[in-house]
């Protein structure tokens, strides 16, 4: 099932496979870093829209597989969406 969804919606490059890997990198960071992820631009059926990152491969797969009803390709509130590759940054604002 996942292979069909990846073929339909696209395979993207992620620096981090899991949320745990990303959290570990953020915890160990003493300044800034950037990483590969994707963004999703959603248009709502009732108007308006939102654009936000999907930071890990794990989150992307969960999005495709519908693991969260309101964060999935089948979200009933969404008119359309676009996925695109990007780099995302992290800055440790609490550098001690």
Residue 61 structure tokens: 């797969």
Per-residue pLDDT of the chain (96 residues; tens, 9 = 90+): 999 999 999 999 999 999 999 989 888 877 888 999 999 999 999 999 999 999 999 999 999 999 987 789 989 999 999 999 999 888 776 665
The model carries a pTM of 0.86
Instruction: Report the C-alpha dihedral over residues 55, 27, 69, 66, rounded to 10 degrees.
Output: 50
- Selection from 8, 15, 6 nearest residue 61 by Cα: 6
């Amino acid at each position: 099932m996942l292979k069909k969804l990846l073929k339909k919606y696209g395979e993207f490059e992620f620096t981090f496979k899991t949320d745990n890997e990303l959290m570990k990198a953020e915890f160990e960071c003493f300044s800034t870093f950037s990483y590969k992820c994707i963004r999703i631009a959603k248009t709502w059926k009732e108007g308006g829209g939102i654009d936000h990152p999907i930071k890990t491969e794990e989150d992307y797969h969960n999005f495709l597989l519908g693991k969260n009803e309101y964060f999935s390709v089948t979200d009933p509130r969404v008119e359309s969406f676009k996925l695109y590759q990007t780099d995302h940054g992290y800055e440790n604002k609490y550098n001690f």
